[in-house]
Amino acid sequence: MRLKEMREVIRNVPRYLTGLRDKHGPLVRVPMGKTDAFLVSDFDVVQDVIIASSRRFDKDAQKTGPGPDDWGSSLERVLGKGLVTSVGTYHRRQRRLIQPVFHRQRIAGYGTAFAAIADEAASGLTDGRRFNFHEAMYELALGMVTRTLFDVSLDSEAADRIRTAFPREGGPLRWELSPFGKILLRLPLPANRQFKRGLKAVDDIVYGMIEERRKGSGDGEDLLSVLLTVTDADTGEHLTDLELRDEAITLLMAGHETSSGSLTWAYYLLGTHPEIRERLHAEVDEVLGDRLPTVADLPRLQFTDAVYSEALRLYPPAWVLVRRALEDYTANGYHIPRNSVLMVSPYVLHRDATWWPEPERFAPQRFLPDPDPSDPLTGHAKTPGRPKLAYLPFGAGPRQCIGNVFAQMEGVMALATLSRHWEFEPVGDPPDRVTSDFTLQPRGGLEMIAHRRR
């Protein structure tokens, strides 16, 4: 790989992979040390890997040989064996147990909290002030997840310790896809030491909350309290403290990392497309007037929902799904050897011009329910006959994000709340450098200027 190409990879891995697909087609071998890695963009093969033949693939892309492997990936060191990192029968059991916790009706109960927390964040804005918008969205998303998961406010000691626990922009998580990640994680680097201290601090908080709730009345409405009530129908067993810890940390990390990035990208896109921003404002004004949104408003906030969905298309937080072939695999004429790594990138798939006309264009009308003869993009994402996985911002199949309904509702409620009185103007050049470790984020943040709507 030439130096110029290496710089492009470092600056923006998702864009580099999109270029590989455009240049070489739907199956591309990508060099990753001693391991064969394949970027898969053929929708039939993606469907097979993610859904139909999913049990022939493992989530742990770093385990490439036989024998014990107890180091764990950098992501597993944080999340333990939560739903994001666990595999096989254990993952299927955990998902079956936890799925009812994310029932739509239960999640809808958090809508009021989402709006109240976003409104509190809006009250701290200053007209004309330039600030790191991504940092503000990080705080907003953290406030939402700590309230719903632990029932603690953003100004609590627990939230403050969580906020400062881990290095920003990935820290050791940036080695998740590296073939040397497990070795790098063991080195006495400053980021590794901070990582371990932060992990212990968060563990102490979570285990303390578990103990507190086990001694309590058992009628709490936060997600951790509900997880304590989960029962295995076959054995009658509850989740152990370790299992509760792993799932709580997974929800905490995944919850605020994904939402903070998605809201940042959504407002960046709105800031660079004033005509779309005005259309969103018109809908918010008509539906809400001067009050906060409720869950009952969501069916009428169609364009707001479409804006968030289109932001997720262009900047999916989980930008790549990685699998390891447990056996030799052949599909559509492609042969992939056992232990090879397969990369399915929503970022790349969402830019397939066959199924997304003008793929780089920010066009929320794609996601509106009804077509418009005067605009062929309107309703395009809802038309029949499209590949099932042409749009997968939350993954798909047995490993689809269990909190997808939670995340979509959280994002739309935040957009509607903040947009009642505020708009945001991006400063400087478009964000060219992105972090693509755990989720897709603008590297170094994103500067914006807040303007109060007149």
Q: How many CB atoms lie within 10 A of CB 191?
A: 18
350: left (phi over 0), alpha (psi -120 to 50) or beta: alpha
Q: What is the pLDDT of residue 391?
A: 97
Q: Give the H or E element holding residue 214.
A: helix 190-215
pLDDT digits (tens, 9 = 90+) for 232-252: 988 899 999 999 999 998 898
Distance CA(424)–CA(305), nearest Å, equals 18
The Cα 91–Cα 397 span in angstroms is 13
Q: Which CATH superfamily does the domain covering 73-299+401-454 fall into?
A: Cytochrome P450 (1.10.630.10)
- Closest Cα partner for 438 from 322, 284, 266, 279? 322
394 belongs to the catalytic site:
yes
Contact 288, 420 (CB under 8 A): yes
pLDDT confidence of residue 68? 40
Q: Identify the CA nearest to 61 among candidates 177, 183, 201.
A: 177
- Of these residues, 38, 394, 406, 424, which one is catalytic? 394
Residue 112 is predicted with a pLDDT of 93
CB 358, CB 349: distance < 8 Å: no
Number of other CB atoms surrounding residue 17 within 10 Å? 22
- pLDDT at residue 167, rounded to an integer: 59
φ and ψ at 450, to 5 degrees? -85, 135
- Establish whether 401 is a catalytic residue: yes
Residue-range domain boundaries for the chain = 1-68+319-392, 73-299+401-454
Task: Say if CB 290 and CB 420 are below 8 A apart.
Answer: yes
Q: What is the pLDDT of residue 65?
A: 41
Strand order of the β-sheet with 27-32 is 27-32, 35-40, 341-344, 321-325, 57-58
Question: Distance between CA 137 and CA 151 in Å, rounded?
Answer: 19
Q: What is the pLDDT of residue 190?
A: 76
Q: How confident is the model over 254-284, as pLDDT tens digits?
A: 888 899 999 999 999 999 999 999 999 999 9
Q: Which amino acid belongs to residue 356?
A: W
pTM, full prediction: 0.91
Q: Measure the CA–CA gap between 412 and 307, rounded to whole angstroms.
A: 9
Q: Which two tokens stand for residue 166?
A: 């881990």
Q: Which of 18, 64, 114, 401 is the catalytic position?
A: 401
d(CA 51, CA 363): 29
* Residues of each annotated binding site: 401
Q: Residue ranges for the binding site for heme?
A: 401
pLDDT at 431: 85
Q: Which residues of 274-287 are buried (b: 16+ CB within 10 A; e: fewer)?
A: eebbebbbebbeeb
Neighbours of 334 (CB within 10 A): 13
CA gap 26, 143 in Å, rounded? 40
pLDDT (tens, 9 = 90+) of the chain, 454 residues, equals 565 666 666 778 899 899 999 999 999 998 766 677 899 999 999 999 999 999 899 876 555 444 444 445 667 777 889 998 888 899 999 999 999 898 888 888 899 999 999 999 999 999 999 999 999 999 999 999 999 999 988 788 878 877 777 655 555 555 555 555 666 667 777 777 877 888 888 899 999 999 999 998 878 889 999 999 999 988 899 999 999 999 998 898 888 889 999 999 999 999 999 999 999 999 999 999 989 999 999 999 999 999 999 999 999 999 999 999 999 999 888 899 998 999 999 999 999 999 999 999 999 999 999 999 999 999 999 998 899 899 999 999 999 999 999 999 999 999 999 999 999 999 988 887 787 667 888 988 999 999 999 8
**Catalytic residue list contains 102:** no
User: Are 406 and 110 contacting, i.e. CB atoms less than 8 angstroms apart?
Assistant: yes
Residue range 1-68+319-392 in CATH 3.60.15.10: no
Helix (H, G, I), strand (E, B) or coil at 5: helix
Candidate list 258, 304, 417, 439, residue with the active-site label = 258
Rounding to the nearest 10 degrees, give the CA dihedral for residues 229, 166, 172, 72. -30
Q: How far apart are CA 241 and CA 136, in angstroms?
A: 33
